[in-house]
Structure 1
């Protein structure tokens, strides 16, 4: 059983999914993890990109394309049901990790704090229309 499941849901993210997957696959870590992908029947080339990554990383990636579009909540739940890890980290198909040790750090926090049931992190939001990045960190949650 993997220590961590990276839960990735996506819909029509062909412009970002490569960066998302590369940021996960290229993690500098020795922890055992899996990438569980739920594609919500994308109509662009997202699924084709995912299947290429799955072929190249068969032991790491468990991807499923929904036969019909479920919507974000049902896709999230269906993908979560396939996760086998002790811990789950959720990421979307247009997000990516900026720290090469992010997964390792998450597992360290969970291991050191068994009472924690949920872990969140700050993030940068890039607005494609304005070409501006805004950083979000909810310090109130960090207690």
Structure 2
């Protein structure tokens, strides 16, 4: 896929854990990310594989400076063209040699003890294929805590059906999983905007995921990142929505029960309907809310939006007001 691999001399001891670091345009942050991985204390050998997706800034230079300092520890997959997040991940994870794999994005940070804690957990719980954890959401520059909209419900265990029905309630940078589960099938590189959920489904199907309610990392809320761009840009959102609907097909092909897949599809369309309603895209709103209702019945919010779909301007005013009231109630709680 147009990537070059800059690798160190062959390892003296095969790694038990492979840490996958994905980077694109993160030269201000990737150094802190890599330092937090290098500083982890483990009782097993590990490797760090960094995939840079042809960053237009100095990200690769920062990464190479770390590789020069830690040549026996760090490998670099440097793409000579921008291939997208899924292909960058696919090329990088393909050379992982560990029995276990941990993911982190290039602008996030591991806290001390993170990797050993997750590794110990997976070794002690053979029924668990994936373990994730709570992360502190912080401002990208100041590292001061900031709010981030994650689901309130965080079950201790989950399966593929739960993920497609409800979505992840944790961050990509908190994942550690058994490599054999990832190697059961290829990464779907056709997903251009949102590939995290498809990856999780491919890993978790047929096994169990576990959530540690322990703060083991920092997630930078990046105002200029891909998520922020999609939030502000209706055209980019359409790309994301298409990827999520494609993910539902992936879930069905993996054998996830149809009820969970249909409810997941309804939820994705509902989220997009709300997005388009708030951005004044009336036709797109109506198309999405009708698609959501056709997919599955998933609650009062969907029912109200569907019932008022012919009056989107009135509905937008009412919905905005309801959100403001709900927000004040949460703040006063």
Higher relative contact order (CA 8 A, sep 6+): 1
Matches within 5 A, 1:85-124: 85-98=98-111, 100-124=112-136
Q: Does the 8 A contact of 2:136 with 2:145 survive in 1?
A: no
Most deviating of 117-126 and 128-137: 128-137
CA root-mean-square deviation: 2.1
Q: Do the aligned partners of residues 127 and 29 (structure 1) sit closer, same or farther apart at CA in structure 2, a change above 3 Å counting? A: same
Query: Displacement of 1:34 after TM fit?
Result: 0.4
- 1:60 and 2:73 equivalent? yes
TM-score, normalising length: structure 2: 0.40
- 1:140 and 2:162 equivalent? no
Matches within 5 A, 1:31-70: 31-70=44-83
* In structure 2, C-alpha distance between the alignment counterparts of 1:31 and 1:129, rounded to whole Å: 33
TM-score, normalising length: structure 1: 0.90
Q: Does the 8 A contact of 1:7 with 1:88 survive in 2?
A: yes
Can you give the 5+ residue segments of structure 2 that lack an aligned partner in the other structure?
A: 1-13, 158-209, 211-333
- Corresponding residue for residue 87 of structure 2: 74
Larger Rg: 2
Query: Displacement of 1:132 after TM fit?
Result: 4.3
SS in 1 for 2:42: coil
Q: Does the 8 A contact of 1:41 with 1:66 survive in 2?
A: yes
